[in-house]
Amino acid sequence: MNITRLVPYTLMVLGLGAAVNAASLQLWAYGEPGSGLFPFLAALLLVCTSLGCSLEKTAATEPVELPRLLTYCAALGLFCLMLQLIGFALSAFLFLVAVFRFIERMDWTWSLLLAFAFAFSTWGLFEGLLSVPLPRGEWRL
């Protein structure tokens, strides 16, 4: 078995664990989304996409880009640490700039524009429109 075939199953197990963990939080409280709803939906999305990828046929000769995969893992780990320190909006922006620029090799202009659009529109959607508090971190940003 090719090692690339194990990645969707590993992500599916992680997604199931995250869904169980998020379900222990409140999914809905007092007529509005609770703190566990977004992580629960994100975990379900991970499970569904992993299931779809596991059903896909992949070529046996498809190369594994292990350094790139490890770079993504490191970036996600740093994002989690930054989330605790500086909050969602700024850490999401910095994470996306780093991914777009250094992993995906986009130019600086597109990296900054896309990161700004995704990070702050997500923040605006959840904080402003849905009134779901996102992490502000120790620095309260």
pTM over 0.75: no
Question: 118 with 92: CB under 8 angstroms?
Answer: yes
Question: 123 with 88: CB under 8 angstroms?
Answer: yes
pLDDT at 141 over 60: no
**Cα gap 79→49, rounded to integer Å:** 22
Residues in CB range of 28: below 8 A, 6 or more apart: 34, 37
| Predicted local confidence at residue 59, as pLDDT | 58
Which comes out higher in pLDDT, residue 43 or 53?
A: 43
**Cα gap 68→112, rounded to integer Å:** 21
**Cα gap 141→128, rounded to integer Å:** 15
* pLDDT cut 70: percent of the chain above it: 91
DSSP assignments along 86-140, one per residue: H-HHHHHHHHHHHIIIIIS---HHHHHHHHHHHHHHHHIIIIIIS-PPPP-TTTT
| Mean pLDDT for all residues in the chain | 87
Segment 64-121, tens digit of pLDDT:
677 888 899 899 999 988 988 898 889 999 999 999 999 999 999 999 999 999 999 9
Instruction: Tokens 């320190």: give the residue.
Output: 85
Residue 135 structure tokens = 């992490």
